[in-house]
């Protein structure tokens, strides 16, 4: 697949993170596939509807998201991103900073890449 498609998937990953951090619910809704499977680093599983409802309720509130060391692979209409992200969240009044290793799967509908699945694992504190 082309380098352009890989760059498009990476931009979709960036836009989704930015929408979460800015609480831009319309942009986040558009960035997520309707049949999303979202697995948090705590192993909690959410559908798209559950994920959006919890974020709107501030469970959790993402203060900062800093992805790095990302690798993108594109196979037809499927894009896979694996990387590491520094997370800064507020949950139930508590600030938390931690690092996750994640795998995000995107699917292309027309020209738009939407996240179909997310799985993250929290890295042990140093």
CA distance 77 to 113: 9
Element (H, E) at 88: strand 78-91
13 within 8 A of 87, measured Cβ to Cβ: no
Q: What is the pTM of this model?
A: 0.92
Domain of residue 52, residue span: 3-122
Q: What is the pLDDT along the chain (126 residues), one digit of tens a residue?
A: 588 999 999 999 999 999 999 999 999 999 999 999 999 998 999 999 999 999 999 888 889 999 999 999 999 999 999 999 999 999 888 999 999 999 999 999 988 999 999 999 999 876
CA distance 107 to 66: 23
Task: Count up the domains in the chain and report the number.
Answer: 1
Q: Tell me, what CATH number does 9's domain have?
A: 3.10.450.50
């Amino acid at each position: 697949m082309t380098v352009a498609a890989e760059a498009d998937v990476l931009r979709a990953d960036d836009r989704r993170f930015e929408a979460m951090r800015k609480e831009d619910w319309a942009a986040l809704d558009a960035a997520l596939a309707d049949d999303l499977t979202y697995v948090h680093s705590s192993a909690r599983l959410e559908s798209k509807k559950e994920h959006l409802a919890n974020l709107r309720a501030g469970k959790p509130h993402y203060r900062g998201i800093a992805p790095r060391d990302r690798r993108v692979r594109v196979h037809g209409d499927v894009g896979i991103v694996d990387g590491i992200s520094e997370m800064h969240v507020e949950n139930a009044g508590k600030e938390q900073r931690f690092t996750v290793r994640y795998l995000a799967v995107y699917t292309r509908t027309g020209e738009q890449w939407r996240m179909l699945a997310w799985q993250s694992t929290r890295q042990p504190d140093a």
